Amino acid sequence: MDALGKGVKGAGLDVGFVAQGWHPDPGGVETHTVSLARELSTRGHRVHVLALDSREGLEPYSTRVEVGEAGGGVEVRRMAYRYHDHRGLVDLVQNRRAEDVVLAWLAETPCDVIHVHHLTGFGAGALRAIADVGQPLVMSLHDYWMLCPRGQMYRWDGVVCGTPEPKACGECIARTWPRLAAANGAKPIGPDEQPVADDVEAAAARTRFALAMLEQPARLFVPSRAAQEVFVASGVARARLQLCEYGIDAEPLRRAVAAERAKLVREPGELVIGVLGALFASKGVLDLARAFTQADAPNLRLEFHGPEWAYHGDATALETLRGLARGDSRIRLRGEFAHGDLARVLAGLDAVAAPSVWHETFGLAVREARAAGLPVLVSDMGALADAAQGGAAGLVVRAGDVFAWRDALERFAKDRAARERWAGAPPVTRTVAAMAGELERAYVETIVAKTGRMPRLVQPIEGLSSGRAPEDGARSKKGFWGRLFGG
């Protein structure tokens, strides 16, 4: 089987991914989708990707094609987009020109099923556009963007939302993006061009539209029960949400970390706690840094490994963190790292912390740390607590509580027996292959339900017959063009 996963001639699925980013773009979703694409390729499938291109100087909505090895040699089409044309709240959820790009990509790419991973830039309306041309469709809900334009149910003033409420959403969006507020002259319309009276009504219309669009996919995947509960509370039927945890290949990562650690020379007695990911206020980085400066732990060092980005244009937390680092040489901002360097980064750490104050949907970084044999210190928000394995693999700390984080840091620094016990706890992760197998079955079942056709697979799925493939790819593609243009 070659890098494109062609395998048996005429067999295997063509799977389309729609995502905001793709390798080498940083982020947990990008890490997840690349590992999934690689595993699907080994199973004889072909993955086609549509993602954003945020580089400067490109014609908006123009596209280019790239083929890279990072995702098994998949073909990636990038749509140039920098959120340049937002004129009102509606533009955060609906983008007609981007929908046209999605449809053009579908027409030229004969996919058996479309798996949407993130619609920032493309708009939630892309789900309806895909479904309307008869394309089998599933979606993963990696964060809360479909409910909250900021993506994390974390307001401008630091309040964490349980569900989207029109008044709070309208005020938050006006504070985050003043130019999109009706009070500031933004266009007063909602999705599908209906008039809205004010920002509250605009926010309510956005939420209704997004929830309606979530009815379009045949399957909705969530990575944790914690994420599932947020969507249920916000109006998504529980029966539509399928738990599908991310996969991590623990043993190869553990070996790679051990090999990197053998190269290091460490100061005797020194302990290093790392935070992996963008230095956003919602990640609780300031709470941890402030707690660190108060902790009685002279042998402890705190490292932040991640991009230094302003959070929706607000750099207040980032600048404060930089100030703390300038005042304490034990706090170090290491900057962004490629996921290929994960083993090297983890090798230099004794634990990984995730002090987030939003409802984390999974917490990939701390689960990768556990896979590598590191203890974790996590907040009690969302799915993070699961990574501590009920206290067997680390500490769960009250989110936003600087004093509680101070105590946790001191205990980690002083309690060697606990550190060794936490590090020795076997990680509770599942493999990428197991994750891909679950999604592969869902793809096939969705295709059969939508088209009545059982695709031919390279590797049979237990309980599903192999079926027959279409007589030729060109005929399938022509049929898609017919659905698209009514021919």
Final residue in a domain of this structure, among 371, 399, 424: 424
Q: What is the pLDDT of residues 391-445, one digit of tens each?
A: 999 999 999 999 999 999 999 999 999 999 999 999 999 999 999 999 999 999 9
pLDDT of residue 162: 95
Of 133, 100, 95, 136, the residue nearest 116 (C-alpha): 136
In a domain, 158, yes or no: yes
In this model, does residue 2 exceed pLDDT 70?
no
Does residue 55 sit in the same domain as residue 103? yes
Average pLDDT of the residues of the chain: 91
pLDDT of residue 462: 86
pLDDT of residue 60: 97
In this model, does residue 343 exceed pLDDT 60?
yes
Final residue in a domain of this structure, among 402, 424, 446: 424
Does residue 258 sit in the same domain as residue 340? yes
Q: Which of 130-134, 243-247, 470-474 has the lowest mean pLDDT?
A: 470-474
Does residue 85 sit in the same domain as residue 210? yes
Does residue 265 sit in the same domain as residue 378? yes
pLDDT of residue 466: 53
Averaged pLDDT, 461-476? 54
Percent of the chain with pLDDT over 90: 85
Final residue in a domain of this structure, among 374, 409, 424: 424
Does residue 219 sit in the same domain as residue 256? no
In a domain, 6, yes or no: no
Q: What is the pLDDT of residues 176-198, one digit of tens each?
A: 999 999 888 998 899 988 999 99
Does residue 474 sit in the same domain as residue 388? no
Does residue 218 sit in the same domain as residue 146? yes
SS3 content of the chain, % helix, strand, coil (to 5): 40, 15, 45
Domain carrying residue 239: 14-247+431-485
Supply the CATH number for residue 325's domain.
3.40.50.2000
What is the Cα–Cα distance from 100 to 94, expressed in whole angstroms? Answer: 12
Does residue 394 sit in the same domain as residue 281? yes
In a domain, 5, yes or no: no
Averaged pLDDT, 355-383? 97
In a domain, 24, yes or no: yes
Domain count, the chain: 2
Q: Helices 250-261 and 364-371 sit at what angle, rounded to 10 degrees? A: 70
**Is the bond leading into 426 cis (omega within 30 degrees of zero)?**
no
Does residue 258 sit in the same domain as residue 157? no
In a domain, 54, yes or no: yes
Does residue 397 sit in the same domain as residue 468? no
In a domain, 7, yes or no: no
In terms of pTM, does the model score above 0.85? Answer: yes
The larger pLDDT score, comparing residue 77 to residue 187, is at 77
Does residue 415 sit in the same domain as residue 447? no
Does residue 162 sit in the same domain as residue 213? yes
